[in-house]
């Protein structure tokens, strides 16, 4: 397990110190945004939900809130609430509470699917 963790940390270091600076040097915000938008558009709703379930628990609270806010703003209200309720089932109670505080909404909002 230590070898896996060590290799992964080395990978992350290389990604953050070499790959990402090179990417930002040659691609602007608009270009990278278009790539991300195309990726999101290529995912089915089920795949997007799986992505959220896997990703949200590992993110820092501020980043989690930005991503969830983006999902809510781009989906119809009923769909956004349902998606958020399903995605946040993987969060701990404390993580969920913090997310709703960061979003400025009561937790019952996601369970009811209301903005």
Ordered by start, the domain boundaries in the chain are 1-42, 44-115
- Rounded Cα gap, residues 65 and 56, in angstroms: 9
17: three-class secondary structure by DSSP: helix
Is the sign of the CA dihedral 9, 13, 16, 19 positive or negative? negative
pLDDT in tens, 73-111: 777 666 666 667 766 778 888 898 898 888 887 766 555
pLDDT in tens, 19-62: 999 999 999 999 999 998 999 889 887 888 888 888 899 999 99
């Amino acid at each position: 397990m230590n070898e896996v963790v060590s290799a992964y940390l080395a990978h992350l270091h290389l990604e953050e110190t070499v790959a990402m600076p090179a990417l930002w040097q040659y691609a602007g915000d608009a270009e990278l945004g278009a790539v991300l938008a195309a990726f999101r558009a290529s995912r089915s709703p089920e795949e997007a939900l799986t992505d959220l379930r896997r990703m949200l628990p590992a993110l820092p609270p501020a980043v989690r809130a930005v991503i969830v806010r983006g999902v809510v703003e781009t989906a119809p209200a009923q769909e956004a609430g349902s998606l958020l309720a399903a995605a946040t089932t993987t969060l701990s109670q404390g993580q969920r509470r913090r997310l709703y505080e960061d979003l400025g909404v009561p937790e019952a909002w996601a369970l009811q699917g209301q903005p």
